[in-house]
Every structure is written in C-alpha cells, then in structure tokens.
Structure 1
C-alpha cells in the first residue's frame, strides 16, 4: 500500500472518507451479484439451528468483502475498486486495497487516548493505535486492561480502523482471552507475519522440528495406514518435548509439563482423515507438516499407471487438483517419486495425450492452484509473544 498517497490530508478527513468507502464496499458485497456466495458463507457461519448473531454476521460479511476469493482469484474489494465509478483517486484506491491486510486480533487495551485506543494484539505481539469511523462511541465501555476481540484495517502506518464488530471482555477474563488468542494463532500461524522477530523464530523452530522428524523416521514423507499415524506423531512429539525439557532445570521442566500441550493432543489427526485408508504425512521445508487423505492410492497410481482404470485412485488425484485447500505439494511429491511415470498418468487422467510434465506441469499447477502461487510463505509453527505466554501461565 502506498501510504504517502493514501494519507494526504488530516487523519480526521481520512477516517470520514474511509467510513464512506467502507459503507459503499459493504453495499457492493451485499448486492445481488454476490448474493448466492455471501448467503452460503452466512449459512456456514450459523450454528446447527441456523442461528447467527449480529456480531458474527457482521464479521462474516466483513471477511467476505475484504478477504473472500471469487472464482477468478480476486477478492470482492478488488472488484469494488476496479468497478467504482467514478474511478477512485490513487490515494483512496491504495487505502481501500490496503484493507485486505486485515489484523484479526485478541487485544489487550493499554490506554485510551482521545479518539484512539492503544491495543496490544496478543496474537502477533504488536501494538496498534486504533480509531473507529463512528467516533468514540464503540469504545465507551472499554477500560485499560480489558480485552477486545475484533478486526482492524490500516489507514496509515500509525493508525488503524475498526473493521466490523468488537467484543469486549473484562480484566478477569485474562486466561480465557489468552487461550482464545493461542487457539487462533495455532490454527492460523500466518497471523504472525507482522512480527518479524516471532516469524524468524517460528521458521527456526519449524526447521528444527522437521530435522528431528527426519532423524526419527528417515525421511520427510511417510505413507501410513490411518491407524498408525497417531502413534508415529505421538512418538515424534514426545521426543521433541523430552528434548526441550532436557534443556531446562527441574523446576522449569515441571512448569513446562504442567502448562505445555499434551503430545497426544498434538498428535491428533485433522478432521476428515479418521476414516481414510492411508494418510500421506509430509513435513516440507516450507509448508511444514501436512496430511493427505488416501495418499497411498495416488502413490500406487503413479507407481503403476495401469491403475488409471481404478476410479478410486484417479479420484484421489483429481481431488488433490480440484480441492482449493490442497496446495501443489502432494502433486509435486508424487511426480518426484515417480517422474518416469508422471506423463503417462496425467495424459490419461486429464485426457490430454500430448501432456508432458516437463513443459506443461507448472502451467497445470498455476491454473489449478493459483492462490498458492500468490501467497507469501509462512511457517506452520506458532510462536507466542512474551505477554501471551505470561497470561497463559496465569500472570496479570
């Protein structure tokens, strides 16, 4: 984002203009052209009874407007900027596109200073100066030391704007707020990317974790029956914990065991894999530890392309290609393991007799997995900041 162009004029004027543009953007996102997709997102967010409270509905619409990717790979806000009439000035265009860089936070209130609140995000351990396009009203209940869950977007380097709904918690909810921050961070390690120090430490920890995995199992890829995966992972995590405890004195080790995650919990399989026939476990240098359903069938298909007549095996490969949540990693690994058979497999599965992985493979992946080429790599391991660690230990 070009903040020099986006932030010309006073902060007050910028907030007023941001409020107008955000209102336009939300109306655009709720227009008939996106109705089917937005309705589906709202239904997914509702509980089993179909109930969706106002706060969650607002957050869902906000995420849809700023971060949801349409079939062409663009976000709704990118469409909004492109189609806005009259065209937005460069500064306003940069500001609105900058809203894609949402900070999803569990914040601790440090101070209230005029129209702004200073919030320390427990997730990325960064402090933000935050304003609202509704003035001070949304902060009326906020006091120093309270906790806030919500989303903010950039206005300029020293100012952020509330985006969507804020939820407040009292000081006494410190442990619950810390646990919520940890859960969010564990599920979304990419949220660390604004803190370069924590990100660096996370990459270092991932590299060390991967090295231990390879030392234990002899490779960074295993194809296992589903009932063996948990035992293997538990062995890895227990070994890692024992190695970490060996570096501590007895008292510190006892505290670490009491407050640290159970290796059995860490070793749990992701949802949707429990009934798989086999699981491919790949600890990639960049993408970290990943699990792939029925990888054994796809591997057997590449080892013996005659199996292309086996619909189940072919369905696994097609699933990897079509699934938006699956990166290029399992496909690249299958090709690496069976390079001499890859052309034959893809020719039959894709129905393209002239397909050659050497010349056509990268284009295939870019077409099917465009989003993964656009992403900035982030470590899959989370590192918590000092304040979050303190709160998790019961500190104040």
Structure 2
C-alpha cells in the first residue's frame, strides 16, 4: 500500500477511536484524564488530545485502555482494520524524539528513550510539519502503519537548543513508564540478564528469594543487597564502575514510606525477572498458608483477601506461595473467600487475573529501569 493510502487509512481509523473515547459514556473518564495529564507546553487543545491518547493507550486504576475495550467489545470491525488497531495496541511508542531528517510529511526520528530509529509520516501533511525543525525534538506517540510509523495525537515541538528540557521530559516519561526503554530488544535482553545476575546474588546472600523481618531490617537487607551487586558486578563493567554508589546512597531513608520502616512484618522479595518488592504483612500471609485459618473473620483470613484484592501486589507473589504450600493452599482460600469448592489449580489464575489484570501484562519485561547514556546525568540529578 502506498504511503498516501496508509495515511488516509490511519486518519480514518484514528477519527473512529477519538469519537469512541469522547462519546458521552466516557465523559467522566475524559474529565479525570484531563485533570491528571500534563499541561506542559501543550495548550488547551493539546492537553485535550493528550488526555484522549492516555485513555486510548494507557491502563488506569481498574480500567483497561479504551483501545483494548474497543477491540474486545466491537465485533463489527473489518479484519484489515482490526489488524491495524491491534498493532497500535501492542506496538505504540510514546517518546522524546530527535528529528534527524525532514522531507515533506516524512520524518526520520531517533527516540532518546529506546535509542531506536523510526521512519515516520504525518497524517496532517507536509505543510503542517513545517514547524518541526531538523535537529530539533518532538515529544509524541507513534503508531505503526505497515513498515512505517505515523504520529498519533498531540506533538510538542522543541528546537535544537532545547535539549535540556527534552531530556527532562524524557526522564519524566521513563520514571512513569520504565518499560518504554524495552521497545529496544537489545535493551530488554540486557536488563533480563542483569536481573538474573541480581537474583543469583540475592539468593546467594540470603539463602532464599524472600527475606522476612521488620521494615527496618528489610531496608537494611536491601541496602546490603545493593552493595553486594556493586561489589560483584562493577569490576567486570568499567563503564559502570564510575557510577557505583553505596546502598545507602541509592536507597536513602527518604525514599521509603515512613510506615514501611515502622512495620513489624515486611518481606524483601526478589523475582528473577521483575526484581525487588517490599511486601508489608507478607509473613502473616505466608503463615496462613502454613496453617490455614478456619474462620473468614479471622484477621489472617482478612489479610489474605487484602493480598488478593490489592492490585499493587504482583500475582506471582501469591502464585509462589501456592506452589510452596500445595497441600494447604486450597484450605486457605476456601476459608478466606468463603468458597468451599475453591481449587487453586482450577480457579487460582482466574482469581488473580480478576483482581490484578496489570500483573499479567508485560510479564517478560524486567522490573528495573535502564537509563540511556544521553539521559543518565538528568536521571542521577533527579535522585539526588
């Protein structure tokens, strides 16, 4: 298909999505998105467009992206259009891009976050793209159309001298969406390798992937783990050696919620892909798997329900406990959920998917942030 035809198709499909996202049934969601998205350098119309984009492509609390919902609930989408929409759902890229070349409506873009090139054409045409300077920068979302990309939604335009501001925006995006960097397969595999090494260090140091204790003890264990990682990995990586900081520097007191440090029951948990989690009340939930409660009103049963319903607790935490206590897991959930026929083997995954849908997305992507060299100084300054 010629580029002009691809752009016409993209325009038509995007108009349909915008009509869907701005229909009366989603008015409250759009108002909330307007309140939560950034207004920086975008103006009122640009801010509205950013809110629509966020609704379409980004999950919210207890809400799937509207593009996912549109595909799931609309059976009348033409097969060729559904294929394009699925590409937009799975491969859209929000980033800060350097404009290496501009010819008419065509742009050669380099993403400062994932360090990849994107041959891009704008549906708005060559004249409208005249404001985008070569050597300058844009912050926007791209979606695929065949072998090329097109711009979806609002564009923030910056000149060549605005690199410091663009770096700051790119780091803000990376802090909110760490997986953006993993659009780059080499980056993703490098991070997976690093987390596997961290996991081996963690297990070697503590004898398990879980360390139970008080909040203060968990924080101290985490800092010791960071020191162990630096001691073991930095000597083999000269580039990283100059960036080594102590565990206390990397994890100062103010980086932890006060209630975490005061808690009497905290687990430091390391996953071989997703890295580190701090889990309050984990010890009591593990004890419930050892000795299941017999009453749904028992405080331990209540804690189990809270772990299930808390979307911030990864599903693999409960899956791991179920695997470690196969003889008692059914009894735990039968009591805690008041479901006498509950079977973890049969019902466990559906239970977790219902309460923790986000935990089943991007399960192969590492849970650490890898920062490109161009953004490292800005990122480190944020942490100081």
Q: Supply the distance in 1 between the matched residues of 2:363 and 2:145 (Cα, whole angstroms).
A: 22
- Is 1:299 paired with 2:286? yes
Q: Supply the distance in 1 between the matched residues of 2:331 and 2:71 (Cα, whole angstroms).
A: 44
1:282 is aligned to: 269
Offset from partner CA, 1:114-165 (integer Å, 9 cap, x none):
21111111111111122222223553332233222221111121x2111121
1:176 positional shift: 4.4
1:308 positional shift: 4.7
Of the two structures, which has the highest relative contact order with CA contacts closer than 8 Å and spacing of 6 or more?
A: 1
Q: Supply the distance in 1 between the matched residues of 2:241 and 2:293 (Cα, whole angstroms).
A: 56
Checking the alignment, whether the CA contact within 8 Å between 2:296 and 2:337 is kept in structure 1 is: no
- The 1:303–1:106 alpha-carbon spacing in structure 2 relative to 1, beyond 3 Å, is same
1:11 maps to which of 3, 28, 40: 3
- The 1:110–1:118 alpha-carbon spacing in structure 2 relative to 1, beyond 3 Å, is same
- The 1:56–1:319 alpha-carbon spacing in structure 2 relative to 1, beyond 3 Å, is farther
1:3 is aligned to: none
1:283 positional shift: 0.9
RMSD: 3.6
SS at match of 1:306: coil
- The 1:339–1:37 alpha-carbon spacing in structure 2 relative to 1, beyond 3 Å, is same
SS at match of 1:133: coil
Q: Supply the distance in 2 between the matched residues of 1:13 and 1:105 (Cα, whole angstroms).
A: 26
- Is 1:326 paired with 2:313? yes
Q: Supply the distance in 2 between the matched residues of 1:271 and 1:237 (Cα, whole angstroms).
A: 21
- The 1:17–1:362 alpha-carbon spacing in structure 2 relative to 1, beyond 3 Å, is closer
1:349 positional shift: 1.1
Q: How does 1:309-388 map to 2 (within 5 A)?
A: 312-373=299-360, 375-385=362-372, 388=375
Offset from partner CA, 1:300-328 (integer Å, 9 cap, x none):
33233237566543333222322334331
Offset from partner CA, 1:209-239 (integer Å, 9 cap, x none):
1111222222111223222332221222223
Can you give the 5+ residue segments of structure 2 that lack an aligned partner in the other structure? none
Can you give the 5+ residue segments of structure 1 that lack an aligned partner in the other structure? 1-8
Offset from partner CA, 1:154-209 (integer Å, 9 cap, x none):
1121x211112122333334344335434533553422343221111111111111
Q: Supply the distance in 1 between the matched residues of 2:208 and 2:184 (Cα, whole angstroms).
A: 31
Greater Cα shift, 206-215 or 355-364: 355-364
Greater Cα shift, 17-26 or 238-247: 238-247
- The 1:265–1:144 alpha-carbon spacing in structure 2 relative to 1, beyond 3 Å, is farther
Offset from partner CA, 1:72-122 (integer Å, 9 cap, x none):
x8642244456669x443322221332212101111221112211111111
2:232 is aligned to: 243
- Is 1:31 paired with 2:20? no
Greater Cα shift, 109-118 or 119-128: 109-118
Checking the alignment, whether the CA contact within 8 Å between 1:198 and 1:385 is kept in structure 2 is: no
2:134 is aligned to: 144
Checking the alignment, whether the CA contact within 8 Å between 1:65 and 1:76 is kept in structure 2 is: yes
State the TM-score, normalized to the length of structure 2.
Answer: 0.83
Checking the alignment, whether the CA contact within 8 Å between 1:301 and 1:314 is kept in structure 2 is: yes
Q: Supply the distance in 2 between the matched residues of 1:232 and 1:15 (Cα, whole angstroms).
A: 54
**Number of aligned residues:** 376
Checking the alignment, whether the CA contact within 8 Å between 1:121 and 1:128 is kept in structure 2 is: yes
